Amino acid sequence: MLVSLILFILIFGTLVTTHELGHFLIAKANNIRVLEFMIGMGPVIFKKQKGETLYSLRLLPIGGACRFEGEDDIGQEEHDYDDRAFPNANVWARIAVLFGGPFFNFITAMIIAVIVVANSPWAFPVISGLTEGDSAAAEAGLQEGDMIVKVDGEKIHLASEVTVISQFSRGGVMQIDYMRDGQMYHTELTPHYDAEQDRYFMGIYLGKYERVTGPKVIAYAFYDILYYFKTTYRSLALLVQGRLSLGDVSGPVGMVKIVDETYEAVSPYGLSSVVLTMLELLILLSVNLGVMNLLPFPALDGGRLVFAFIEVIRRKPIPREKEGMVHLVGMVVLMAFMAVVVISDVSKFMK
């Protein structure tokens, strides 16, 4: 567990640092005053003042912040700050700063994806076998060796994409385009329901593992990012629809358990497998963090962006005290939600 905890701190620290670095660098480029660049939450274990910015490292590796002058002050008048304060900066500069955090998460994910794809075999969406007996794929005419090219009009590059689409379809008819012997074919497939597992199955085994080389590495790294992006927003849609429960959501404690289970599963295969698997997990979480922060919810980057774009449309800002109050309420709701998630994680961890 100690190794897993260290890995979690490294992974989460990387996520937070790159996110806040995006805000920080773009703010500096736009001459916005940064009061503090903070990694972690809670008590300070290290701090250093350099110029106008305080750089601090805090005890709890569960978050971070890049504090700008005047960003969250409620009730302050515009003339209380100079033109380097965040509220007085050009609206497009503020939009760039807010988007910078999630953007750096996506850039980080892309860089790591290039490394992983270049050093790991790629799971191409080729049927490696059919399940015995009740196989929906066999009924649809699919055979071993067929490469799935599209599902419901969506291009497929990775075997896992087919599995995810199948799970989200909830038994609906799937339009399958596949390649066989150099020819394109089309079929319809209706997944079969398994009452014991409460899941729908296509009845196939997928994955032909080959290395990707040369310039294709960049393209397939992008496909990897796109896969996690689609998985994240589809999961959010299921959560909103009530098809996912709180037990399916994980916070920092749940992430420690995920890291631990992943480490235990891959550690017998050697150090390189551990490193590459943890990097793949970092890609997933980095994309997830980028998407989550762009949600149009108060206190998140996406919620702040909503106010900024309203300002662009209205050609004048919403009164600062009103926006600040909305974000304050949003923060309270987020903290309450996180508390519930942590309690849920702990209860799962103790089982």
Predicted local confidence at residue 149, as pLDDT: 96
Question: Does domain 132-202 fall into CATH 2.30.42.10?
Answer: yes
Percent of the chain exceeding pLDDT 70 equals 93
Predicted local confidence at residue 260, as pLDDT: 85
User: What is the token pair recorded at 219?
Assistant: 């393209």
Q: Is the dihedral angle over the CA atoms 57, 60, 62, 68 positive or is it negative?
A: negative
Q: How confident is the model at residue 348 (pLDDT cuts 50, 70, 90)?
A: low
Predicted local confidence at residue 3, as pLDDT: 84
Beta carbons within 8 Å of 318's beta carbon, 6+ residues apart: 307, 310, 311
Mean pLDDT to the nearest integer, 258-272: 89
pLDDT digits (tens, 9 = 90+) for 208-249: 999 999 999 999 999 999 999 998 888 887 777 766 666 666
Q: Which H/E stretch holds residue 41?
A: strand 34-50
Taking the C-alpha atoms of residue 30 and residue 44, their distance in angstroms, rounded to an integer, is 28
Mean pLDDT to the nearest integer, 174-192: 94
Taking the C-alpha atoms of residue 62 and residue 110, their distance in angstroms, rounded to an integer, is 23
Predicted local confidence at residue 351, as pLDDT: 61
Predicted local confidence at residue 73, as pLDDT: 63
Predicted local confidence at residue 60, as pLDDT: 82
- What is the pTM (predicted TM-score) of this model? 0.87
Domain residues of the chain, as ranges?
Answer: 1-122+213-351, 132-202
pLDDT digits (tens, 9 = 90+) for 5-23: 888 889 989 999 999 999 9
